[in-house]
């Protein structure tokens, strides 16, 4: 496994946490837009994290 930190994995985790925060804010304030933006950020974060996993896999195979 690579010792190097993969930026996509870190950014992906950050986006997921940011999405959870937006979603929670939307629930507390009954702001549908914030809830939706939170879900989008979470999905974007998961995609970035998966991309990072794929990049790591290819790096490890070299």
User: pLDDT at position 1, please?
Assistant: 45
Is the CB of residue 14 less than 8 Å from the CB of residue 47? no
Enumerate residues 6+ apart whose C-beta is below 8 A from 40: 19
Q: Tokens 């999905």, residue? A: 43
**Is the pLDDT assigned to residue 2 strictly greater than 50?**
no
Q: What is the mean pLDDT of residues 8-22?
A: 98
Enumerate residues 6+ apart whose C-beta is below 8 A from 3: none
pLDDT averaged over every residue in the chain = 93
Per-residue pLDDT reduced to its tens digit, 16-41: 999 999 999 999 999 999 999 999 99
């Amino acid at each position: 496994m690579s010792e190097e930190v993969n930026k996509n994995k870190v950014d992906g985790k950050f986006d997921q946490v940011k999405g959870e925060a937006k979603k929670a804010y939307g629930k507390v304030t009954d702001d549908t837009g914030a809830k939706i933006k939170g879900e989008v950020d979470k999905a974007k974060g998961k995609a970035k994290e998966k991309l990072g996993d794929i990049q790591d896999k290819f790096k490890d195979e070299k």
